[in-house]
């Protein structure tokens, strides 16, 4: 695995997100009893500026919980999450989330959905519309601004969700299995479009996925989690050059090797758990 751990020249950039020994439990009431479910245990991870990092692990290992804690939507029990030197206590303008479910407001047009994220920033109507149109153009939806979400395909709805997240110009994009609900062809297309956007925008992306080849294709590093309570089993560098052209990359021997290695790593984590 040594050649697979070759660094991607990212060492020079500073850590933007620091996750330090974070743990999280939930309490579930069953009849008269309350049981504690430990979601995450002692998770530590540094994410560098402009880095694209994927988190992969078995269902229920706390990937989404970790993303929500980075966003400040739910508190952590112990440890620390620091962004740009400041502890996370609530959602902030430096972060935006893209969900699997698109989370578009059905009664608003595509344009109004993208504008929604800007309304909270108290921008003028003119400025909101201009910015929203700009981002719809970037995700290839310029001709669909007056459509409603139900009039769009799943892939187009996901593009609209991405435009809405990017419109607020966050430093950090948190993506929770954003392509999990679309068909395989659309998924590959969206992956390519996301990489093109990332290349242009240079956001810091933390991307949760179940797909090993998606994680390898998109990322600078892949974080492999153990089954619940989720811990970091391994962090792997992706030694594939950028920009990445889908067909070439997916046939690359390092791509195949690393995808297989992650599968073995996940299997090992599952076996050690039982």
Give per-residue pLDDT as tens, 198-213.
888 889 999 999 999 9
Residue 59 placed within a domain = yes
Which residues form the domain of 59?
3-13+50-76+87-94+170-273
Distances (CA, A) of 132 to 107, 147, 154, 193: 17, 14, 20, 18
Residue 71 placed within a domain = yes
The per-residue pLDDT for 188 is 87
Q: Is the separation of the CB atoms in 197 and 223 below 8 Å?
A: no
Please check the confidence at residue 182 and state whether its pLDDT lies above 70: yes
Please check the confidence at residue 5 and state whether its pLDDT lies above 50: no
Residue 8 placed within a domain = yes
Residue 164 placed within a domain = no
Q: 208 in helix, strand or coil? A: strand
Residue 162 placed within a domain = no
Please check the confidence at residue 247 and state whether its pLDDT lies above 70: yes
274 pLDDT band, cuts 50/70/90, is low
User: pLDDT by residue (tens digit) across 85-113?
Assistant: 999 999 988 998 888 777 789 999 999 99
Please count the other Cβ atoms lying within 10 Å of the Cβ belonging to residue 57. Answer: 26
Residue 136 placed within a domain = no
Please check the confidence at residue 234 and state whether its pLDDT lies above 50: yes
Residue 142 placed within a domain = no
User: pLDDT by residue (tens digit) across 115-127?
Assistant: 988 887 778 889 9
Q: Domain of 234: which CATH number?
A: 3.40.50.300
Domain count, the chain: 1
User: pLDDT by residue (tens digit) across 43-67?
Assistant: 999 999 999 999 999 888 889 999 9
Q: Is the separation of the CB atoms in 102 and 149 below 8 Å?
A: yes
Residue 137 placed within a domain = no
Higher pLDDT: 122 or 3? It is 122
Please check the confidence at residue 8 and state whether its pLDDT lies above 70: no
Q: Is the separation of the CB atoms in 42 and 23 below 8 Å?
A: yes
């Amino acid at each position: 695995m040594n050649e697979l751990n070759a660094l991607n020249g990212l060492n020079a950039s500073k850590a933007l997100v620091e996750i330090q020994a974070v743990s999280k439990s939930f309490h579930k009431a069953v009849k008269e009893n309350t049981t504690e479910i430990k979601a995450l245990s002692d998770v530590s991870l540094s994410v560098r500026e402009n880095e694209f990092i994927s988190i992969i692990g078995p269902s229920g290992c706390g990937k989404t919980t970790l993303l929500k804690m980075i966003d400040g939507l739910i508190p952590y029990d112990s440890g620390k999450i620091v962004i740009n030197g400041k502890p996370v206590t609530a959602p902030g303008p430096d972060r935006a989330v893209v969900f699997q479910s698109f989370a578009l407001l059905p009664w608003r047009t595509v344009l109004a959905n993208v504008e929604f994220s800007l309304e909270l920033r108290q921008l003028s109507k003119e400025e909101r519309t201009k910015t929203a149109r700009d981002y719809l153009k970037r995700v290839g939806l310029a001709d669909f601004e007056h459509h409603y979400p139900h009039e769009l395909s799943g892939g187009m709805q996901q593009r609209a969700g991405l435009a809405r997240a990017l419109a607020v110009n966050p430093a950090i994009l948190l993506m929770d299995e954003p392509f999990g609900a679309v068909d395989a062809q659309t998924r590959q297309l969206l992956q390519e479009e996301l990489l093109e956007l990332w290349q242009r925008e240079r956001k810091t992306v933390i991307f949760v996925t179940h797909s090993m080849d998606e994680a390898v294709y998109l990322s600078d590093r892949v974080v492999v989690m153990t089954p619940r309570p989720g811990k970091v089993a391994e962090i792997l560098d992706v030694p594939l050059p950028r920009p990445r052209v889908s067909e070439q990359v997916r046939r690359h021997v390092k791509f195949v090797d690393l995808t297989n290695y992650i599968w073995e790593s996940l299997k090992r984590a599952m076996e050690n758990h039982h």
